[in-house]
Structure 1
Amino acid sequence: MSGYGGDEARLDGLLLQALRLDGEERERFLAELRGSDADAHGKLLALIELAERPLALLETARSDRADALAALSERVAADDAHSGRRIGSWRLLRQVGRGGMGSVYEVAREDGVFVQKAALKLIRSDYAAPDFLARFSLERQILATLNHAGIAHLLDGGETEAGDPYLVMEYVDGVRIDAWCDERQLDLDARLALFLQVAEAVDHAHARRVVHRDLKPSNIAVTGDGQVKLLDFGIGKVLDADGAAERGERTATQLFTPDYATPEQVLGRSAGVPSDIYQLGLLLYELITGQHAQQPADVTQASLERAVCRDDPPLPSAAAAAAPPP
């Protein structure tokens, strides 16, 4: 392709907007775009998948955008076809989320023994390590020790007939933590109280040598009674393609969201307890200021390193004074 600008520059701007949204907010944003520009909508869906993939794959895909966009658009369009299927002991009821590495469904257990509602994360096979099932069997024993009110429990897992891995977790009927705070116009003390719940849950996991690696508002829900629930705890390690986080090796296959990336993730290094603590800081900054602490200009390696590893965000007091949370 010749050059990089015009429509592509507009798409990158839309991409950055979309990456800063999750759940219903992102769906509304995409629905509005689909109504006004269906072509851009389809391309943006594919770019979101690229942006939420490992950075090395993102850079490779950018060199041949047209082919990557076409292939990824087909995968995104196929996601909805899973509703109504049975996977293992679980019947897929409805899709409740979609991201770069797969889709999340509300499911019901149908094995004639238990009646149970849960959330099933159907993972694309190209995201899982070749020895995913063996690793999952071992890691599930560790994750099962996370018996804490603030952590959603891992219930089951396996592989579909098509070879796509899946994980089944406790179904959490809640609102993401930032939306909970904003919708209720919580004051600083109430926001700090919720953050302390998050920190206590993370501390419980760290005491059992389990790290999250992807702490961000969309992975933290608040239930109707005000209980924080952390989602997807430990899944990053299960999906790690080469166990590098365990061995402290450099890896290019880490999964992360640009606004919540840690220096270790951007630089391809081991993401452990320090990464979780760093992301707790990003979460606290956002809850008390209503803004992201780090806002990369785009999703290139240079921009990510500058925003995450070198630039200092405004002091929270200054950021909150300039644009206090709603």
Structure 2
Amino acid sequence: MSATRERIADRYLLLDRIGSGGMAEVFRAHDELLGRDVALKVFRREFALADDLRRQRGEVRILANLSHPSLVTLFDTTSDAEGRGVLVLEFVDGTDARARLKDGPLPEAAVAALGADIARALAYIHGKGVVHRDIAPANILLPGATSSGVAAKLTDLGIARLVDDARITSTGFVIGTASYLSPEQAGGSQVGPPSDVYSFGLVLLECLTGERAFPGSGVESAAARLSRDPEMPERLNPE
């Protein structure tokens, strides 16, 4: 897909591509109806078509009604000219924790601020019965200077609930980023809020050390998860 003056749903003017992953591409777009920039997550055909999202309209309503300063808001769902499912999300002008970690560990004060914001967001969604299932640095956005005072926002909320499970199974795709899977995810067991908390702990540990607790390929990382606990460097302040 080219972002050159292309429109989606006769409303969203694509400006530039801001991200790409295994399941989707993300574009910054301008909502010409409401006069604001948004982020469009365009799923690859093997994961979600427009009909898939329409079948999940109950889940869409649940996610669209979630509101928290540290959550990226889901505004709507639509489709592109090829029938691929598209999520319309709040646009956050900034970077993400994965990109920030390329420069090394974050200052302890920054990790504390990030941790507090994402912990509040997780407590909120868990209280609403929603499990994220993919807590990873790439899904933690770090806004630029804003008046809100929010240090971090959690994105990709509920993707696992919206995509077609049959499509995921048929492609052998696993929801979750390998290095941050909880033991129950790595073992193929049922997940709940504790799974998000475990993954978040791994993210915080990496933010402090600059190193992944479980590096390697997906298989190696998952196997390590089931055989040992993450190592806590002695140099870290216990508090």
**TM interval, short-chain normalised:** 0.7 to 0.9
Give deviations 1:77-96, integer Å, cap 9, x for gaps.
Answer: xx4x3543211121111111
Say whether the 8 Å CA contact 1:258–1:304 is kept in structure 2: yes
Residues 1:275 and 1:130: Cα distance change in structure 2 (over 3 Å) = farther
Say whether the 8 Å CA contact 1:263–1:309 is kept in structure 2: yes
Alpha-carbon distance between aligned partners in 2 of 1:235 and 1:189, rounded to the nearest angstrom: 30
Residues 1:272 and 1:102: Cα distance change in structure 2 (over 3 Å) = same
Q: Which amino acid aligns with 2:153?
A: K
Equivalent pairs, count: 230
Give the deviation of 1:253 after TM superposition. Answer: 4.4
Q: Which amino acid aligns with 1:115?
A: G
Give the deviation of 1:243 after TM superposition. Answer: 11
Say whether the 8 Å CA contact 1:84–1:94 is kept in structure 2: no
Residues 1:132 and 1:269: Cα distance change in structure 2 (over 3 Å) = farther
Alpha-carbon distance between aligned partners in 2 of 1:184 and 1:212, rounded to the nearest angstrom: 26
Indicate the residue corresponding to 2:218 in structure 1: 299
Indicate the residue corresponding to 1:314 in structure 2: 231
Residues 1:164 and 1:82: Cα distance change in structure 2 (over 3 Å) = farther
Q: Which amino acid aligns with 1:100?
A: G
Indicate the residue corresponding to 1:97 in structure 2: 19
Give the deviation of 1:314 after TM superposition. Answer: 2.1
Q: Residues 89-128 of structure 1 correspond to what in structure 2 (within 5 A)?
A: 89-111=11-33, 114-128=34-48
Identity of aligned residues (%): 35
Residues 1:178 and 1:255: Cα distance change in structure 2 (over 3 Å) = closer
TM-score norm. by structure 1 comes to: 0.63
Q: Residues 143-154 of structure 1 correspond to what in structure 2 (within 5 A)?
A: 143-154=63-74
Alpha-carbon distance between aligned partners in 2 of 1:252 and 1:211, rounded to the nearest angstrom: 21
Give the deviation of 1:316 after TM superposition. Answer: 3.3
Q: Which amino acid aligns with 2:188?
A: G
Give the deviation of 1:130 after TM superposition. Answer: 9.0
Residues 1:107 and 1:190: Cα distance change in structure 2 (over 3 Å) = closer
SS in 1 for 2:120: helix
Residues 1:85 and 2:6 aligned together:
yes
1:232 to 143, 146, 156: 156
Indicate the residue corresponding to 1:265 in structure 2: 185
Alpha-carbon distance between aligned partners in 2 of 1:285 and 1:186, rounded to the nearest angstrom: 10
Higher helix share: 1
Residues 1:193 and 1:161: Cα distance change in structure 2 (over 3 Å) = closer
Structure number, greater radius of gyration: 1
Indicate the residue corresponding to 1:13 in structure 2: none
Residues 1:316 and 1:196: Cα distance change in structure 2 (over 3 Å) = farther
Give deviations 1:300-320, integer Å, cap 9, x for gaps.
Answer: 4xx2432221133322335x5
5+ residue gaps, structure 2: none
Alpha-carbon distance between aligned partners in 2 of 1:189 and 1:256, rounded to the nearest angstrom: 27
SS in 1 for 2:15: strand
Indicate the residue corresponding to 1:141 in structure 2: 61
Give the deviation of 1:223 after TM superposition. Answer: 1.6
Residues 1:223 and 2:148 aligned together:
no
Alpha-carbon distance between aligned partners in 2 of 1:186 and 1:126, rounded to the nearest angstrom: 36
Q: Which amino acid aligns with 1:241?
A: D
User: How much is the aligned-residue C-alpha RMSD, in angstroms?
Assistant: 2.9
Say whether the 8 Å CA contact 1:150–1:201 is kept in structure 2: yes
Say whether the 8 Å CA contact 1:130–1:241 is kept in structure 2: no
Residues 1:135 and 1:279: Cα distance change in structure 2 (over 3 Å) = farther
Residues 1:294 and 1:282: Cα distance change in structure 2 (over 3 Å) = same
1:166 to 86, 92, 100: 86
Give the deviation of 1:123 after TM superposition. Answer: 0.3
Q: Which amino acid aligns with 1:314?
A: E
Give the deviation of 1:195 after TM superposition. Answer: 0.6
Alpha-carbon distance between aligned partners in 1 of 2:197 and 2:134, rounded to the nearest angstrom: 11
SS in 2 for 1:125: coil
Residues 1:263 and 1:83: Cα distance change in structure 2 (over 3 Å) = farther
Higher relative contact order (CA 8 A, sep 6+): 2
Give the deviation of 1:120 after TM superposition. Answer: 0.2
Give deviations 1:156-177, integer Å, cap 9, x for gaps.
Answer: 1122231211101000012223
Alpha-carbon distance between aligned partners in 2 of 1:130 and 1:229, rounded to the nearest angstrom: 26
TM-score norm. by structure 2 comes to: 0.84
SS in 1 for 2:206: helix
5+ residue gaps, structure 1: 1-78, 245-250, 322-326
